[in-house]
Structure 1
Amino acid sequence: MTRKAKWIFAVVFSVLLSIVTVVLIHQYLQRETSRRLEQASGNARNVVVFASELQAGKALNANDLLVRKYPEELISAQWYLESSAGMLIGRQLRSDVQPGEPVSERVLSSNLNNGLSAKLPNGYYAITVETDNLGHHNAMLKTGDVVDIVFVGGSFEQSRQYTAFDNIEIFDVYGVQENFGTYSLTLLIESARVRDFTRALGNPMLVWAREHSSPNVDIWAKGTKQSKVAPWKVQ
């Protein structure tokens, strides 16, 4: 055999040996992976994951959830298991999520948030003021009553300036049952009126009760009313 033939034989043999080696390694890795997955499946648990991409604020339903097996040693304490999946129905998302992402408390709005913010209607602020004139209504004002709030300003040319906010719902009353001399009145103020209402705070305040049947009756503005907040004068 010539030197050239020996060299070609060595190259071909090396290539064949490399191919066989790669095949054997691949088979070994497949068998080892299967063995480890089989071994881990004995300790695997069903974890609840998101079925699709969801946006923050979405209330979860059954179609939004799937179950996947995870080795027990990889499961976070905050993840939800299949046995607790029913607790997720109706929960709201705090942030956006991706499909296949395990459901955890990190991305869910807290069910414990039953405070004031959770109870406010959309578009309203709760503003609490102190007043000593609730006794003029014999302490009959209750949560849900509708009132007009009038702030009394300073005198000007023998007249007195007033700023009125009409049709305001009472969210809570504190101090009436406790027989305090002053009372705290929590009012629902529309977001568009918060700035003007805040500016008026500090002036003497009057509280007038209003009928539920006539919330749109306007007694404060003169002529055509341009705003819910209208200054007026009484001689």
Structure 2
Amino acid sequence: MKGKLKWIVILIISLLMTVITLLFLQKYLSEETERRIQQAEPEGQSVVVFARPMEADEQVYAEALAIRDFPQHLVSSQWLSSSEIAELLGQRLKYAVKQGEPLTRAMLISNNFAGLSRQLPKDHYAVTLSSVEGARHNGLLAVGDRVDVVFYQHLPSGQRDQHSFTDLAVFDLGGEQQNLAAATGITLLVPENQIRDFTHFRTDEYSLWVRPTSLAENSDRWQPITPPTRVLSWTGEQP
């Protein structure tokens, strides 16, 4: 009885050792296989790709981009890494791109060559007025100021008519940017629905007021004042 029990214990121990050996062998083979596969694969490289489809003329910002790893032998020299895109953010696309497409400099329109049309807000025109002494406000006028412009039209009768345009944005000041008092022109953003009238009067004499930010956008304070009516006493004879 004791001999049979002894053989049973020996058999159980042998089975346990066999199982443990097989587990260690399987782990070794898995690690070795993974190591050899990694050695056989080419080294990867991270490049910047588009995280979503984008249309032509859209501005490229970080939220529209993602990082993706490619095998090094497949990476083009024109593709960009994350360390190269900081100076390119905010530029516009020349053409539409697909999700996952790598970013290249050739896709972008440099801000230095963007052109005036691409810089204008939607439904606005840029119109430049010749700078006059009163419009410079001693050189304090700056890009982004909101202004009111009143044109004075001299009529054949000798009278002077006025036409006002309110809440226009200063887009650019001509001349040296370091010396705004010497500006040779003032470029304003004019809404599309006002451009025809504004262009008609732009060569006339004008005055320009800087508009306070607290003033309501639609308020127009430059309507001509109607002369008061004079009531004369009747001195004629009664019928």
Q: CA deviation at 1:164?
A: 1.6
Moved over 6 A (4+): 85-91, 113-119, 232-235
SS at match of 1:219: coil
Contact 2:139 2:180 in 1 (8 A): no
Superposed CA RMSD: 4.5
SS at match of 2:215: coil
SS at match of 1:80: coil
- Normalised TM-score (structure 2): 0.53
Q: CA deviation at 1:41?
A: 5.3
Q: Which residue of structure 1 lines up, in the alignment, with residue 10 of structure 2?
A: none
Cα distance in 1 for residues equivalent to 2:52 and 2:168: 43
Contact 1:151 1:163 in 2 (8 A): yes
Cα distance in 2 for residues equivalent to 1:84 and 1:145: 35
Structure showing greater radius of gyration is 2
Question: Could you report, residue by residue, the CA deviation over 1:94-128 in whole angstroms, capped at 9, with x for unpaired residues?
Answer: 43223443322233343656886676555444332
Q: CA deviation at 1:40?
A: 9.6
Aligned AA (1:59): Y
Contact 1:49 1:99 in 2 (8 A): yes
Q: Which residue of structure 2 lines up, in the alignment, with residue 25 of structure 1?
A: none
Cα distance in 2 for residues equivalent to 1:84 and 1:136: 41
SS at match of 1:148: strand
Q: CA deviation at 1:206?
A: 2.1
Moved more, 82-91 or 210-219: 82-91
Q: Which residue of structure 2 lines up, in the alignment, with residue 197 of structure 1?
A: 198
Change (3 A) 1:138 1:178: closer
Q: Which residue of structure 2 lines up, in the alignment, with residue 105 of structure 1?
A: 105
Q: Which residue of structure 2 lines up, in the alignment, with residue 80 of structure 1?
A: 80
Change (3 A) 1:79 1:142: closer
SS at match of 1:218: coil
Contact 1:60 1:92 in 2 (8 A): no
Cα distance in 1 for residues equivalent to 2:76 and 2:127: 42
Cα distance in 1 for residues equivalent to 2:81 and 2:107: 15
Contact 2:136 2:181 in 1 (8 A): no
Change (3 A) 1:146 1:67: same
Q: CA deviation at 1:198?
A: 2.0
Q: 5 Å matches for 1:12-91? A: 42=42, 45-50=45-50, 53-56=53-56, 57=58, 59-61=61-63, 64-71=66-73, 75-81=75-81, 84=84
Unaligned runs of 5+ in 2: 1-37, 229-239
Unaligned runs of 5+ in 1: 1-37, 223-231
Q: Which residue of structure 2 lines up, in the alignment, with residue 4 of structure 1?
A: none
Contact 1:53 1:99 in 2 (8 A): yes
Change (3 A) 1:46 1:178: closer
Change (3 A) 1:215 1:143: farther
1:146 equivalent in alignment to 2:146: yes
Q: Which residue of structure 2 lines up, in the alignment, with residue 17 of structure 1?
A: none
Contact 1:59 1:92 in 2 (8 A): no
**Number of corresponding residues:** 186
